């Protein structure tokens, strides 16, 4: 009896003459294996053997390590700049800046502090000048 020898990709590598008993045994073993594989695939909804690990299905939502490191360094740099700016303010400027940061308008800050609107506006202009002095004008092209 002639038997086809196949590699793992199911490609025929060689055809070999074997004894009839061994040939029948190999054929029956192949049939059993095929039947077992069919039963297994029938009961399993998704086989990892058939999966391709590319595309959006297996894509991680986590940034790659380099991007995460760069983002972390940028956040740390922004925090240092913020801390430097806050530490350079007078107590009055700091108090008013924090109110502006909370979304208060110049009129609301003037009403809260019980001062004239013009003094709040001047403080805001001082804050802008101090920021530009420390970090440069963000609206100016480099």
pLDDT value of position 135 = 85
Over residues 81-124, the pLDDT tens digits come to: 999 999 999 999 999 999 999 999 999 999 999 999 999 999 99
Residue 35 domain boundaries: 2-43
Sort residue 90 into left (φ over 0), alpha (ψ -120 to 50) or beta: beta
Same domain, yes or no: 69 and 38: no
Radius of gyration of the chain (CA): 37
Residue 53 lies in a domain: no
Q: Residue 108 sits in a domain of what CATH number?
A: 1.10.10.10
Q: Which residues pair with 4 in a beta bridge?
A: 15
Over residues 17-41, the pLDDT tens digits come to: 888 888 889 889 889 988 887 776 6
């Amino acid at each position: 009896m002639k038997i086809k020898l196949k590699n793992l990709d199911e490609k025929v590598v060689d055809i070999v003459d074997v004894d009839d008993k061994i040939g029948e045994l190999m054929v029956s073993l192949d049939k059993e294996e095929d039947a077992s594989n069919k039963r297994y695939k029938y009961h399993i909804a998704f086989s990892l053997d058939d999966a391709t690990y590319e595309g959006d299905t297996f894509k991680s939502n986590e940034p790659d390590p380099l991007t995460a490191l760069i983002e972390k360094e940028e956040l740390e740099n922004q925090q240092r700049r913020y801390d430097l700016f806050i530490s350079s303010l007078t107590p009055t400027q700091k108090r008013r800046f924090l109110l502006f940061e909370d979304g208060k308008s110049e009129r609301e800050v003037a009403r809260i502090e019980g001062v004239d609107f013009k003094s709040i506006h001047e403080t805001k202009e001082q804050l802008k000048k101090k920021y530009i002095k420390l970090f440069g004008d963000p609206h100016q092209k480099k």
